[in-house]
Amino acid sequence: MFELVRTNDPVVISFVQSLLRDAGIACFVADQNMSILEGSLGILPKRILIDEEDRQAAHQLLEDAGIEHEMRSSDRDND
Structure confidence by residue, pLDDT tens digits, 32-47: 777 666 666 667 889 9
> In this structure, what are the phi and psi dihedrals at residue 19, rounded to the nearest 5 degrees?
-60, -45
pLDDT at 62: 95
The pLDDT tens digits of the residues spanning 22-78 come to: 999 999 999 877 766 666 666 788 999 999 999 999 999 999 999 998 887 655 545
Please report the pLDDT score of residue 39 as a whole number. Answer: 62
CB burial string 28-38: b at 16+ within 10 A, e below: eeeeeeeeeee
CA–CA separation, 57 and 72 (whole Å): 15
Query: Where is 61: in which H helix or E strand?
Result: helix 55-64
CA–CA dist 57, 55 (Å, integer) = 6
Domain architecture of the chain: domains with CATH: 2-74 (3.30.70.790)
pLDDT for the residue numbered 77:
47
